Structure 1
Amino acid sequence: MDPRRVAVTGLGAISPVGATAPATWDAFVDGRSGVRRIDEWGDELPVHIAALVDTDVSTSLTVPERKRMDRAEQLAMVAGREAWADAGFAGPAIGEERDRVAVVVGSAIGGLHTTIDQQHALERSGARRVLPHTVTMMMANGAAAWLSMQIGARAGASAPVSACASSTEALHWARMIIASGAADVVLTGGTEACVEPLVLAALAQTRALSRFDGDPARASRPFDAQRDGFVLGEGAAMLVLESSEHASRRGARVRAWLDGTAVTSDAADIVQADTDNQARTMRLALRTGGIDASQIGIVHAHATSTPLGDRNESIAIADAIGVHPVVTATKSMTGHLLGASGALGALATVRALQEQLVPPTINLDQLDPEIAVDVAAGTRSVQAEAAILNSFGFGGHNASAVFSAA
């Protein structure tokens, strides 16, 4: 076996449907939604639904940590600690080992709660009332920085910021770091916490958000004929990646292999996706992993529940992979976690390969007749050698990752 082949040895998550990675996976298999109505902000907002993390992070973080971290950083720390422990590490790297450990954590926006709260503090009470930790709480690389200190990583702490492709791009760069020999272990993933009135109002103005007025749990409906936009969510998901040589040396459990990744850019429109380029991204990920399209049994689609986006992605999947794989869209349960969505999708993809079980795309009452792929409306047993994960973001950012069963 290639000693630099990349193994997935740890998973962590805190999501709208679960406080941990196992709880999140169980919710996926059961088809449970984390979308609910939000009434705190009054009637001025055009949208009143979102998928929030209900877990109290105070049980996992100290008071000083909570005071010095934005919510996005807090969620990343909770998920990162879980992933690190799940991989079998008892504590931070020590000695020379620290120079072989890296962190890559993506986020589309970063510390937005802090940015908005401290602007309000400045306006209400003046400059002296602005928190001294504001900048380190605001910065998009904050989560990567905190996690590097948590696990003793000195081989780099990077923070891709590429809209909704951020954390799948993080997987790409993490794989490249290991494959190049620059590190043996990388803690990677994504975090997002931007369910704020400003973001909801702005996305509503673009007509990207669902205005479903029934049961909030039924609002996110990828590939359904009646879908009308996505639901904003928050959360974090982390994976521990390491070289096969390093994993074997310490007797680590391998959950799956991250064999291929690809990152491309459309260089076209700031909002509208390029379907041909989405297909090209998938083909590149297959090629780098040495995986044939016929081996792909599962597709975790980006599928946000927008009318045009879901249709275009289904065309790209059929073009690059074919119509034989089972397609799933867990955003039907969690909403769209923006920069963290790819990492949460990666968690679902890895567990799907482990269990040979594909989570359902809930709320799929009637498949859009323009969708030509096989979408799982219920939990589906499969026999899959490999799976592919897609993430596409505003700005023409595309990222795909190919996993193989361990």
Structure 2
Amino acid sequence: MDPSTRDAAVTGIGLLSPAGACLDSSWATMLRGTSVARPDPVLQGLRTDFSCAVPDFSVRALLGHAVSRRLDPYAQMAVVAARQAVRDAGLDPARWRSERVAVVLGVGSNSLHSYEEPFRLLHDNRSDRVSPYQITRSVPSMAAAEVALDLGAHGVNFTTSSACASGATAIGTALDLLRAGRCDIALAGGSESARSRMTTTCFGQMRAMSSRRSDPAAASRPFDTERDGFVPGEGAAVLVLERAEDAHRRSAGVRGYLAGYGASADAHHPAAPHPEGRGAQAAVLAALDDAGCSAADIDHVNAHATSTPLNDTTEARLLRRLFPHEPAVTANKSVIGHALGAAGAIEAALTVLTLQHRTIPPTANLRAQESGAELDVVIGRPRPARMGTALSTSFGFGGQNTALVLRAP
């Protein structure tokens, strides 16, 4: 398929997820379609004492002692994912026009993980022991800042924060920057970890997290009638985006194309989605219009699908309403949990791989769907399929909605 001149080429992907600490291992685990949720010592004693953690992530070996000590986990993962993405794109930071390289990363919140120990120190009247790096370790802007420091990217640099849509918002914003000529290369994605005792406690108090402690691997079950909340996850994904003509000019390998971006606000409730999904629908329709395609052109949907009662029902009914031709649906959070602000970026990366490999990863733990909200969800095994265009949805607290349209290479 020839890309539109408005499309951005995805020339590199960096991915750390609970499915694996690199792109290939993550993809292989996603194809198996079984949850990686396990008991988590960090969360011991809490109502939700399990999570989906990035495996085999030796940060000191990758970043060195001094840097790894300075950075919070979400920034560590962002830097490693960005390095992977740049390498995958065949780019050399020593040779690029650094002032034309943008970094836009999504982070849902500042790192509550970083604040737990300092708060204890303050409570114990030991403020002199609080690290001088505490602020620079924890504020959301440091994800993009640390990537720029590491790679020498001197262009546009900022963090987007739209709750669990943050990573997808960053990718859509990067598309706008490329189209506006504000940069030539954009490193876009998201990074976050929900594996914090405070984060898990807060979501638990809202009854948004699963409490299926007896069977963590069965806890994340999007669209299933027995779902009881999401499973905390973590990770980072960074996409290298370039204007399609620039990518072709340098003979870059293209994994896929980012064709459309839409966003909206429900303006309805601090936490609950609009019951009719009006804001989500507006974001999806805006993304389709931006990509110059219709609902009938969508061959596949990578759903937000958190495994929470309200969100899944609202999204399923929305997808049934907008896509009566029933494109195949998958829900990545069933396998890797919910990485909050990074989730949309991780799912966009996996959607690109789905289109590239023409294979849809299965959804775990789906046994029965709600009457009137049934979708063609891929379960059991990967489904080979000829696909040209896919939709990835991301929704967050506050009624933040983002949708991305991606095309096959």
Q: TM-score, normalised by structure 1?
A: 0.96
Partner of residue 66, structure 1: 68
Superposition deviation, residue 214 in structure 1:
3.2
Amino acid in the other structure paired with 1:69: L
- Matches of 1:290 and 1:369, distance apart in 2: 33
- Matches of 2:69 and 2:214, distance apart in 1: 38
Partner of residue 177, structure 1: 177
- Matches of 2:213 and 2:129, distance apart in 1: 40
- 1:299-332 deviation line (CA, Å, top 9, x unaligned): 0000000112111101111222334210000100
Q: Structure 1: any 5+ residue segments left out of the alignment? A: none
2:397 is the alignment partner of 1:380:
no
2:262 is the alignment partner of 1:259:
no
Superposition pairs of residues 352-367 of structure 1, within 5 angstroms: 352-367=354-369
- Matches of 2:207 and 2:325, distance apart in 1: 30
Partner of residue 156, structure 2: 156
- 1:373-402 deviation line (CA, Å, top 9, x unaligned): 211113111111100000000011000000
Superposition deviation, residue 32 in structure 1:
3.4
Partner of residue 316, structure 1: 318
- Matches of 1:375 and 1:41, distance apart in 2: 31
2:270 is the alignment partner of 1:270:
yes
Superposition pairs of residues 113-262 of structure 1, within 5 angstroms: 113-124=113-124, 126-262=126-262
2:47 is the alignment partner of 1:46:
yes
Partner of residue 394, structure 2: 391
Partner of residue 108, structure 2: 108
- Matches of 2:165 and 2:95, distance apart in 1: 29
- Mean Cα deviation higher: 49-58 or 32-41: 32-41
Superposition deviation, residue 233 in structure 1:
0.7
Match for residue 281 of structure 2 among 262, 279, 282: 279
- 1:241-261 deviation line (CA, Å, top 9, x unaligned): 111122122111111110000
Amino acid in the other structure paired with 2:290: T
Amino acid in the other structure paired with 1:217: A
* Preserved contact between residue 194 and residue 338 of structure 2 (Cα < 8 Å): no
Amino acid in the other structure paired with 2:408: A
* Preserved contact between residue 237 and residue 342 of structure 2 (Cα < 8 Å): yes
- Matches of 1:359 and 1:7, distance apart in 2: 23
- Matches of 2:296 and 2:253, distance apart in 1: 27
Superposition deviation, residue 68 in structure 1:
1.2
Partner of residue 77, structure 1: 79
CA RMSD, 1 decimal: 1.5
- 1:391 match: secondary structure: strand
Amino acid in the other structure paired with 2:158: S
- 1:327-367 deviation line (CA, Å, top 9, x unaligned): 00010011000000001101110000001110111111222
- Matches of 1:329 and 1:148, distance apart in 2: 32
- 1:204-254 deviation line (CA, Å, top 9, x unaligned): 111111111432111100011211111111111111111112212211111
The alignment covers a number of residue pairs equal to 403
Superposition deviation, residue 39 in structure 1:
4.1
Partner of residue 350, structure 1: 352
2:397 is the alignment partner of 1:401:
no
- 2:299 match: secondary structure: strand
- 1:375 match: secondary structure: coil
- Matches of 1:92 and 1:242, distance apart in 2: 18
Match for residue 331 of structure 1 among 330, 333, 346: 333
Partner of residue 289, structure 1: 291
Task: Report sequence identity in percent.
Answer: 37
Q: Structure 2: any 5+ residue segments left out of the alignment? A: none
* Preserved contact between residue 52 and residue 233 of structure 1 (Cα < 8 Å): yes
* Preserved contact between residue 223 and residue 303 of structure 1 (Cα < 8 Å): yes
- Matches of 1:4 and 1:252, distance apart in 2: 18
- Matches of 1:8 and 1:388, distance apart in 2: 15
Superposition deviation, residue 271 in structure 1:
1.0
* Preserved contact between residue 92 and residue 150 of structure 1 (Cα < 8 Å): no
- Compared CA separation, residues 29 and 41, structure 1 to 2 (3 A): closer
- 1:159 match: secondary structure: strand
- 1:374 match: secondary structure: coil
- 1:45-78 deviation line (CA, Å, top 9, x unaligned): 2221111123222221111111211111001111
- Matches of 1:3 and 1:98, distance apart in 2: 24
- Matches of 2:88 and 2:186, distance apart in 1: 14
